């Protein structure tokens, strides 16, 4: 069971309940994977409780979570917790190298040290991210021109990239260096030098709020231009 958009909905849990009413192939075990479990909205979590409490015969539920505290206590109390620690940085880097990830250290930092997430990001956005950053750091482009070029990228994609970029701009202002974009340090330093720290903090807050709007029927152009506007504030 996976989310569509931001949440795993009650409809998905009801569809799962209908599936569990059928007989398994060759009377074997059935494994139900719910990932990420913290994406269950309240109605979906409540609908799942009875099934977790009294699962059908030969049925195993695996709820995978990256943020355990976000799962309702009523769901957690019906599960056995099995912590899975992250591998060491050296192990993760070695594995990512074997998987063909270029510049794995940057992807590992942006994924919070989780190698599977780092690999997914690399496969999903390597070329797109570099293209986005080139647009973002092209000082010859107007706000409208930047928006035109970025609109072809999915909102959930470039919004995440922009969040990491702004966090690195804040790092440049406070610490003198960024954390996520080792390959763009010069561009980060140049951009950070002409932006105010308080404006950057407000921008980062606005980007976090914008994550909630991703699945709303908003005007994509207006949203894109409004989120890029801080780049074009007077120095």
Tokens 């950057």 locate to: 200
Sketch the domain layout of the chain as residue ranges.
10-76, 89-232
Q: Which of 155, 169, 162 is nearest to 216 (CA)?
A: 155
Q: What is the CATH number of domain 10-76?
A: 3.40.50.300
| pLDDT for the residue numbered 235 | 62
Tokens 């990932």 locate to: 35
Confirm if 38 and 3 have CB atoms less than 8 A apart. no
What are the DSSP E strand ranges found in the chain?
A: 30-34, 59-63
| pLDDT for the residue numbered 152 | 75
**Number of Cβ atoms within 10 Å of the Cβ of 103:** 12
Count Cα neighbours of 206 within 13 Å in the Cβ-side half-sphere: 16
Q: Show the low-confidence residues of the chain (pLDDT under 70).
A: 4-5, 24-25, 125-127, 154-156, 213-218, 235
Q: Which of 5, 51, 46 is nearest to 32 (CA)?
A: 51
Q: Is 98 helix (H, G, I), strand (E, B) or coil?
A: helix
DSSP annotation of 3: -
* DSSP H/E element including 169: helix 155-175
| pLDDT for the residue numbered 81 | 94
Q: Which of 17, 115, 9, 120 is nearest to 61 (CA)?
A: 17
**Can you read off the two tokens belonging to residue 62?**
């695996």
pLDDT single digits (tens) 75-122: 999 999 999 888 999 999 999 999 988 888 888 988 888 898 889 888
Q: Is 214 helix (H, G, I), strand (E, B) or coil?
A: coil
| pLDDT for the residue numbered 52 | 93
DSSP strand pairing (30-34 vs 59-63): parallel
Measured between alpha carbons, how far is 108 from 99 in angstroms, rounded to an integer? 13
């Amino acid at each position: 069971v996976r989310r569509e958009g931001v949440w795993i909905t009650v409809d998905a849990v009801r569809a799962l309940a209908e599936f569990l009413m059928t007989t398994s192939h060759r009377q074997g075990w059935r494994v139900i994977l719910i990932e990420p479990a913290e994406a269950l909205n309240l109605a979906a979590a409540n609908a799942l409780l009875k099934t977790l409490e009294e699962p059908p015969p030969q049925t195993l539920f695996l709820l995978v979570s990256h943020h355990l505290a976000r799962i309702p206590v009523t769901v957690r109390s019906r599960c056995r917790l099995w912590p899975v620690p992250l591998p060491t940085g050296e192990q993760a880097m070695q594995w990512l190298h074997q998987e063909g990830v270029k510049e794995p250290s940057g992807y590992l930092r942006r994924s919070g040290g989780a190698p599977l997430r780092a690999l997914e990001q690399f496969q999903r956005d390597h070329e797109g991210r570099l293209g986005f950053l080139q647009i973002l750091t092209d000082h010859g482009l107007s706000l409208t021109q930047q928006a035109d070029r970025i609109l072809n990228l999915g909102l959930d994609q470039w919004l995440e990239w922009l969040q990491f970029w702004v966090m690195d701009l804040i790092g440049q202002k406070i610490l003198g260096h960024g954390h996520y974009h080792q390959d763009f340090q010069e561009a980060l330093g140049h951009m950070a030098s002409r932006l105010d720290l308080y404006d950057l903090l407000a921008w980062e807050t606005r980007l976090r709020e914008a994550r909630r709007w991703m699945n709303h029927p908003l005007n994509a152009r207006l949203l894109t231009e409004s989120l890029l506007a801080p780049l074009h504030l007077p120095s």
